[in-house]
Structures are given as C-alpha cells and as structure tokens.
Structure 1
C-alpha cells in the first residue's frame, strides 16, 4: 500500500492548482482510490483498496470556516487557483473564507466535490485527465 510520505512527495511537486491533475494521476498510480481533505488544517484521509486508510497530520493552525457559503466568490477563487495564481495554503484560506469545509476526491470518477459545514455540496467538478 501507499504511504503518507509517498503522497506528500507527489504533492510537493505541485506549486499551484494548475498541477492538480498531474498530482492526481501520480497518487492514483500509488493506489489511492479517494481522499477527503479538511480545510481547517489540511488533515487528509486517503483511501485505498481493501478498506485501507491512512491519514496525514495537520499542515497548519486551524482556519475558521465561514458559516455561510459564498458560491460566487468560491468559484472565482477556485478558477484563479486552477490557473496557477495561488498556492495551496492561499486556496485553503479562500475555501475557509467562503464557507467550504472539505473536499472529497473520487479517483475512479475523477471528481472533486466541495462541501460546506452542513455537508451540503457546494460544487462538483471533473478533474482533467
């Protein structure tokens, strides 16, 4: 199975949201089938075959997640992140500011879905291959 060290090595290669598709491709080859990232501290649960789960440690001090979702502002922040204009931490602060609590990536469907504090879907997107 894969390790957090392998996943972090793949993550360290990307500098902005523009590199996300190549990161996904690399961790999929490691055997990751899905992952869930919490915006508050970037703690991530990675799922593999046969109910395998491993979790990363928090990456930063807890961010406060806004109670209300600002879909329009989040979509704008996501777009600039995907264009390579922001780094990972900045994107996470933007998620918190706009009420996004977590995202879940399903590698078999190649989707990334963002959720608010109540578990409601904010946005789902296809990951480019």
Structure 2
C-alpha cells in the first residue's frame, strides 16, 4: 500500500479541482448575473482552490516530479469536470469526450512509465 506521502497530494488536488471547477464553470448556470459579480464570486472560490493546490504541489514534489504532479492534476481535472458537467450542468458525456479523455489518460501512462 502506498504511503500517505503519495496519497496526500492526490487528495489535496482532488479537493482543489472541485473548487477550481466551480470557480471556472459554476457561474454558467447563472447567466443572468452580472459578469463582475460572477468574477468576484469565482475569485473567492478560487482562493480555497489555491489553499489546497499550493500545499498539494509542495507536498507532492517531495515524492513526484513536477511533470508527474501536473499529469495527476490534469487527470483529476478531467474526472472532476466530467462529473460536474453531468451532475451540475446537466450535460452528457459523448463517446467523443470519452475517447479524448482516454487518450489523455494514455499520455499520463507514459509520464509515469519512465524511460522507454
């Protein structure tokens, strides 16, 4: 079983990405609100994103390379965004989305595989 040092940055990045997704896309359900208001609310939400992302990267860099951390973050972003777009925005994930996401995850495999 991996040590908590490997799991902690993943959990922090997961939380960070939930905040990030709401900050960037949550306002789409409120198209009638002023742009300035949604920018301010998004900044407030993003503050909590940063409170998780910065320690995630600091702790994570002790056990992962920067490229591995970024790859983990991107895969988590896709998973969180896919769930968010279906559950919150009511959008559907199409086969094209699934294939594209799978290709990105395939790229992540090579980042963690090591030298060929």
TM bucket (normalised to shorter chain) is under 0.3
TM-score, with length taken from structure 2: 0.27
* Structure number with higher helix proportion: 2
TM-score normalised by the chain length of structure 1 = 0.25
Q: Which has the larger radius of gyration?
A: 2
The structure whose RCO (Cα within 8 Å, separation 6+) is larger is 2
